[in-house]
Amino acid sequence: MTKVAHLTSVHSRYDIRIFRKQCRTLSQYGYDVYLVVADGKGDEVKGGVRIVDVGVLSGRLNRILKTTRKIYEQALALGADVYHFHDPELIPVGLRLKKQGKQVIFDSHEDVPKQLLSKPYMRPFLRRVVAVLFSCYEKYACPKLDAVLTATPHIREKFKNINGNVLDINNFPMLGELDAMVPWASKKTEVCYVGGITSIRGVREVVKSLECLKSSARLNLVGKFSEPEIEKEVRALKGWNSVNEHGQLDREDVRRVLGDSVAGLVTFLPMPNHVDAQPNKMFEYMSSGIPVIASNFPLWREIVEGSNCGICVDPLSPAAIAEAIDYLVSNPCEAAALGRNGQRAVNERYNWDLEGRKLARFYSDLLSKRDSI
């Protein structure tokens, strides 16, 4: 049986893209799958995947220096046929594994240089310098790897000029996972936001939009704040009185919240790493059968208007967000139709079943090339 090892120093052991989608899919296709993590929760076998924990260390520097070394040592001890790593800080691990004659894949979830340009804890000049340096490092390191997988076509196009074996494996929803099957007449006068809660994802503008509503709609807010100062600011806004705060929920409870809601919000601000991104939550809202209220970036507009599944708005305008919420609340028949359109688009195109098959074919082709050498 072909042994594959996925490596992450940052992500949760049950990360949706890494564990639930990729690792479990490969296990279903007959691979012996290991997932090396660094969370201190111990080893286990779950869903056909052997999870190996190298332990957790506090502090970013410790993680980058010591944890990466532990992951390399554990990866080498596994003796896998293919190594598939998911964090930019593990690129040195990938290069060391290549020197040992291993087959190595880098899975780029984000356009990291553009992501660095949005980091609030760095001064603007430093962001630009670090982004350029990391871009140069990618161009140096990634040609040495066997392949690069990407989470979006946009990131794929960037890497096509760097590595000759690049494929996008989109982070689309698993069919049926979030479909709550709630009749539209039974829904509440609520909209939802699910995901990480940050300033650049538009939480400030969304909560301000609640002050502009003509309807009595409330916001189901699901996720964790990652910026204490933004959390304090947002909680002080008048619109916070119209928020149902849920915190972080498991997938079944997310499904319930989506079922109660008449629309899902994904109004990220126009930052470099957002404009060409494909936000997972937009497709999850579509999968659950509710319309989306999305930022009016060209790519997002192409998806939303192409599927006729929601409304695109200026994410910097609380009034525009409020207008979209009021429209969907006041027009339930049209909202339901938009929701059905989005669900149909997911069933036909934007789903993990199709992406999982792409992943399995990719692995098969990669191993065939190795065996033919």
Lowest mean pLDDT among 31-35, 58-62, 309-313, 331-335: 58-62
Q: What is the pLDDT of residue 272?
A: 86
Q: Same CATH topology for 3-172+351-372 and 184-348?
A: yes
The pTM for the full model equals 0.91
Beta strands in the chain (DSSP E): 3-7, 32-37, 44-46, 49-53, 82-85, 103-108, 147-150, 166-168, 190-194, 218-222, 243-247, 264-266, 292-295, 310-313
Residue 52 or residue 116, greater confidence = 52
Residue 64's pLDDT band (cuts 50, 70, 90): confident
CATH of the domain spanning 184-348: 3.40.50.2000
What average pLDDT does the segment 206-213 reach?
99
Phi and psi of 117, rounded to 5°? -65, -15
pLDDT score at 186: 94
Tokens of 7: 């490596």
Of 370 and 369, more confident: 369
* pLDDT value of position 371: 64
Residue 126 has pLDDT above 90, yes or no: no
Alpha carbon distance 304, 291 (integer Å): 9
Q: What is the pLDDT, as a whole number, of residue 115?
A: 87
Query: Which residues are within 8 A (CB) of 75 and not within 5 positions of it... i.e. 6 or more apart?
Result: 5, 7, 36, 83, 93, 97
As a whole number, the mean pLDDT across the chain is 95
> How many percent of the chain have pLDDT more than 90?
88
pLDDT at 65: 78
Q: What residue spans define the domains of the chain?
A: 3-172+351-372, 184-348
Nearest C-alpha neighbor of 352 from the set 179, 166, 176 = 176
Residues 6+ apart with CB under 8 A from 345: 286, 307, 309
Mean pLDDT, to the nearest integer, of 67-71? Answer: 95
What size, in residues, is the chain? 373
> pLDDT-derived band of residue 118, with 50, 70 and 90 as boundaries?
confident
Hey, what are 268's tokens?
């990220």
> d(Cα 148, Cα 108) in Å, to the nearest integer?
7
Q: What are 228-251's pLDDT values in tens digits? A: 999 999 999 999 999 999 999 999
Query: What's the gap between Cα 259 and its chain centre?
Result: 21
pLDDT of residue 373: 54
3-state secondary structure of 251: helix
Q: Report the CATH superfamily, name and number, of domain 3-172+351-372.
A: Glycogen Phosphorylase B; (3.40.50.2000)
Confidence (pLDDT) at 117: 83
* Spatial CA neighbour of 2 closest among 370, 372, 373: 370
What are the DSSP calls for 43-66, one per residue? -EEETTEEEEE----SSHHHIIII
